[in-house]
């Protein structure tokens, strides 16, 4: 029977192995993430999704994170993720929500219900939001007129889509655990897209990612978000 000293060293060894394993996983994830973005870009949830896509075999060269696309009026629209595929361009909006979500695809706002119905919030319709992102991106190149775009809204958190309908064609609402299933379906059910100049597409997306490193652009966009959030008040 081992004495207390031996038992202590066994427990200590197990603890050290667990700590080493955790640190190794964190280091590996950070290194993998850096093939697309860095640990300060976007939100933690967005970075989690980037890692998920990479671990599922999607090439880092086809993933673009935290894009700031120049609009016609000189302002910027921020896109969480863009994934280039053989069948077109997937534009992803990431949401981390809780509670029950109600809304229709053609409404400007949805309703988020918390605390068993005691709290209700207005939520900007993510379908409309991502559609605008796609429209702003399409204006960056004439060839985008002939390339299919797919809108993918990914929900993290314990939210439940209770009554969401009138979802447009080419738009997909999905919980995070099913995102690869939807991406595979999009690739399987659609014909190859015709890219007349792939280099131009990549250049536009890379420039939009680079815009996100500009502090002036970031501050301006944050002010725009604050003004938008100010309109989304609690209502009874």
Within 8 A by CB and 6+ apart from 162, the residues are 100, 101, 102, 113
pLDDT in tens, 79-133: 999 999 999 999 999 999 999 999 998 899 999 999 777 788 888 999 999 999 9
- Tell me the mean pLDDT in the region 67-81: 90
Q: Which two tokens stand for residue 7?
A: 């038992």
Contact between 160 and 103 under an 8 Å Cβ cutoff? The reply is: no
32 has a pLDDT exceeding 50: yes
Q: Rounded to whole angstroms, how far apart are CA atoms 186 and 193?
A: 12
- Tell me the mean pLDDT in the region 160-188: 93
Positive/negative CA dihedral, 21, 23, 29, 35:
negative
219 pLDDT tier (thresholds 50, 70, 90): confident
- With a pLDDT cut of 90, the percent of the chain lying above it is 64
- The residue ranges of DSSP E strands in the chain, in sequence order, are 63-70, 76-85, 88-96, 100-104, 109-114, 119-124, 149-156, 160-165, 171-175
At 224 the pLDDT is 65
60 has a pLDDT exceeding 70: yes
195 has a pLDDT exceeding 90: yes
Better-scored residue on pLDDT, 235 or 82: 82
233 has a pLDDT exceeding 50: no
62 has a pLDDT exceeding 80: yes
Q: Rounded to whole angstroms, how far apart are CA atoms 225 and 147?
A: 29
235 has a pLDDT exceeding 50: no
At 230 the pLDDT is 56
234 pLDDT tier (thresholds 50, 70, 90): very low
Better-scored residue on pLDDT, 79 or 222: 79
- Tell me the mean pLDDT in the region 197-225: 85
At 7 the pLDDT is 74
2 pLDDT tier (thresholds 50, 70, 90): low
């Amino acid at each position: 029977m081992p004495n207390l000293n031996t038992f202590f060293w066994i427990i200590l060894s197990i603890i050290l192995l667990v700590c080493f394993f955790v640190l190794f996983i964190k280091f590996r994830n950070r290194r993998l993430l850096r093939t697309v973005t860095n640990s300060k870009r976007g939100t933690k949830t967005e970075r989690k999704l980037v890692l998920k896509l990479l671990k599922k075999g999607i090439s880092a060269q086809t993933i673009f994170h935290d894009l700031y696309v120049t609009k016609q009026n000189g302002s910027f629209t921020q896109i969480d993720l863009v994934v280039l595929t053989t069948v077109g361009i997937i534009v992803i909006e990431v949401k981390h929500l809780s509670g029950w979500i109600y809304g229709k695809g053609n409404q400007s706002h949805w309703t988020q219900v918390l605390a068993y119905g005691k709290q209700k919030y207005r939520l900007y319709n993510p379908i409309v939001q991502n559609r605008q992102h796609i429209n702003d991106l399409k204006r960056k190149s004439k060839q985008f007129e002939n390339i299919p775009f797919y809108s993918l809204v990914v929900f993290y958190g314990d939210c439940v889509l209770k009554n969401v309908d009138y979802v447009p064609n080419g738009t997909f609402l999905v919980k995070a655990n099913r995102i690869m299933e939807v991406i595979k379906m999009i690739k399987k059910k659609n014909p190859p897209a015709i890219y007349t100049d792939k280099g131009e597409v990549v250049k536009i997306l890379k420039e939009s990612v680079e815009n996100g490193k500009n502090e002036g652009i970031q501050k301006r966009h944050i002010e725009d978000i604050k003004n938008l959030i100010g309109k989304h008040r609690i209502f009874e």
